[in-house]
Every structure is written in C-alpha cells, then in structure tokens.
Amino acid sequence: MSVVFVTGGAGYIGSHMCKLLARAGHQPVALDNLSTGRAEAVRFGPLEQLDLTDADALRAAFARHRPEVVLHFAAFSQVGEAMVEPGKYWRNNVLGALTLIEAMLEADCKRMVFSSTCAVYGEHDGVTLDEDTAQAPLNAYGASKRAIEDMLRDFGASHDLRAVVFRYFNVAGADPETEIGEAHDPETHLIPVMLQAVAGMRHELMIHGTDYDTPDGTCIRDYVHVMDLVRAHLLGLEWLAAGRESRVFNLGTGQGFSVGEVIERAAAVTGAPVPVRFGPRRAGDATRLVSGSRRADAELGWRPEATLEDMIRDAWAWHKRLHGNSAPDKID
Ligand code: UDP
C-alpha cells in the first residue's frame, strides 16, 4: 500500500480515482480547496482542505502524509469560462501546478500523474489526434494545461521529476455503484446538462453551434467513461513505479460522436426525448476532437471498455440518485 496524493480529490474525476485507489489497496489523500469539489465526495481517505497556491499548507501536508506519488487533477476546466476569464485559468491552473511541483521536490517526491487534455491540440479538422500532433490550444484551459506539460518537462530535466501525462478526451459517466458522480455547479458539460433537460430541471439543452463542418453540423467529441479513465491512472502509477521515463498518453476511445448523436443515444437510454434549442457556436470549441492514438493500449495495456450508452446510463442513474425523480424548479 502506498500513500497517494490526489489533488482535486473532491471533484468529479478525482473522487472516482480515490475510490479505485482505495479498492486497489492504496491510501488516497484528497487535496482540495472545495472551490468546485464537494466534501461529501471524499469517502475513501482523508481530505486536506488547502489551496495549491498555498506553499506553506502544501509543505505541511507533505510532511504529514509523506506521499510516494501525486495524481494532479485539480484545475478549472470549462472552455466557455476560460474564454471570458482567462486569468482565472492561468493563475489557478499554472500557479497551482508550479507551487505543487516545488513542494513535491522539497519533500523529495518525484513522481506525478498529470491530467492534461485534448484541448491542447486545438483545431485539426478531420485529423485524428496522436501525441505528436502539433499543439495549438484555442482557449486558456488548453493553454494552461500545455504550459504545465512544458513545466513538467523542464523540471524533469533539472530535477529528475518523472511524469505520466494523460491527455483526456471527453470524460463522462459515473461510478456504476452510484456512490459518486459528476456534480458541477453550475453544470456545463454536455451529458449532465442533457440529463437535466430530460429530467425537466432545465427548459432545454442548448446545442452550441449547428454549422460546423461535420455530417450533422454539430461538434464531434470522443467520450470516455470515468471508470475506464481512472483505471488508466493505476497503469500510470505502475509505469512510474517501474522506473520508466516520462511519457504522454492520449486517453480516448478513438470513436467520435456528434452532439446530435449523443442526444439520440440519451433519448434511447432514458426513454424520453431531449428538449433542445439551437444556439450559436460556443467560443473556444474545436470542431472535432477524437483520439487517433493506440499508444496507451500498446504501452500501458489500457483498453477502454464502456460504450457511450454505458456512460449515459451510469450518468442517468447518478443523476436520479442526486436529484431524485422529481422535476424541481428550473435552473435556466
Ligand atoms: N455542448 C452543447 N451544449 C451544452 C454543453 C456542451 O452543445 O450545453 C457541446 C459543446 O459545444 C461541445 C460538446 O458539447 O461540442 C462537449 O462539450 P463539453 O462542455 O461537455 O466538453 P468540452 O468538449 O468543452 O471539454
């Protein structure tokens, strides 16, 4: 058993990670300032409530728990918000990561698994993306993640910090046991927003743009189940524990679905139509983000198993657990 720091451990992906770590016999310690995370999602180990830009608090946490490795999930991650408040993304994401890395090195902790994103690639129309595709982020979210990747490379060269960098495609779904799930407030991600519309919590789902150069005019994304995604992180931990070098891996299924196709699947899974409204493009959105890499399979042995239907079904079960079956007052 090893002590593992999970920054953002009270958040959507971080809480699923903690559950899997605990099940695999590790001791997860969640580091979270609870700005977007929820204390009730921290169920699988202790919570250190701190801000990653607070070097003293980090130093104390490292001294208290002596982690072997850090899984760094904590970040702001909304494309729409990043377009209007870029400073929030540069300050929180980049400064937080820098302070964290310096605290790690001070504590002689030299292994990290870092949550990056396919948003580092930007617009590459019609091209499937692999780890060597040129990076050209369209928004401060992707740009802040790219900056952290650069930071990890630099500290790798100077201080032997080793990192597995995972570029996530669109993470969806929930713990099939419905113990935890996605619960952003406000919610902006496609599948949970869609389910809120199905449940009557919203008047409708606004489709952000129908004039993209895709078969149905809506954006195409590669959706990966959160449980498949966190499973890759266990393999990342093994990679680092085996003394292997820093490496970047895409985490996607390689299959793209348009917003229109996701809506169709959601209607089939829930048995109810999704009320929709057609809106303008959302600034910062790329047309098509689909992983074209088999590196995670070839080198880590990672094969995502869940289908888009599985993701919607598990997210729907979690939605009902969180909100009940009733349709409360509308939130839009
Ligand atoms: N989307 C949409 N309506 C919404 C939320 C998202 O049409 O209310 C679209 C969005 O423009 C993108 C896709 O759904 O094409 C996935 O967006 P999401 O915010 O879930 O993830 P992102 O790709 O930004 O990480």
Mean pLDDT on 138-145 = 96
Per-residue confidence (pLDDT) for residue 185, from 0 to 100: 86
| pLDDT surpasses 80 at 127 | no
Work out the angle at residue 290's Cα, subtended by the Cα atoms of residues 289 and 293, and round it to the nearest 5 degrees. Answer: 130
Query: In Å, what is the CA distance from 9 to each residue of 13, 38, 234, 248?
Result: 8, 9, 15, 22
Residue 124 pLDDT level (bands cut at 50, 70, 90): confident
Distance 157 CA to ligand 1 centre (A): 36
Active site residue 141: yes
Distance 221 CA to ligand 1 centre (A): 9
| pLDDT surpasses 60 at 73 | yes
Mean pLDDT on 294-306 = 98
Closest CA to 29 of 76, 66, 77: 66
Distance 212 CA to ligand 1 centre (A): 13
Start-end of H helices in the chain: 12-23, 55-65, 79-84, 86-89, 96-106, 140-159, 190-198, 226-241, 259-270, 295, 308-323
For atom 25 of ligand 1, the residue with the nearest CA is 170
Query: Cβ distance 276 to 204 under 8 Å?
Result: yes
Q: What residue segments make up the domains of the chain, in order of their start?
A: 3-172+223-251, 190-221+254-323
CATH topology of domain 190-221+254-323: UDP-galactose 4-epimerase; domain 1 (3.90.25)
Per-residue confidence (pLDDT) for residue 292, from 0 to 100: 92
Catalytic residue (one of 12, 121, 141, 223): 141
| pLDDT surpasses 90 at 1 | no
Mean pLDDT on 129-149 = 96
| pLDDT surpasses 60 at 326 | no
| pLDDT surpasses 70 at 290 | yes
Residue 287 pLDDT level (bands cut at 50, 70, 90): very high
> 3-172+223-251 and 190-221+254-323 share one CATH topology?
no
CATH topology of domain 3-172+223-251: Rossmann fold (3.40.50)
pLDDT in tens, 87-107: 999 999 999 999 999 999 999
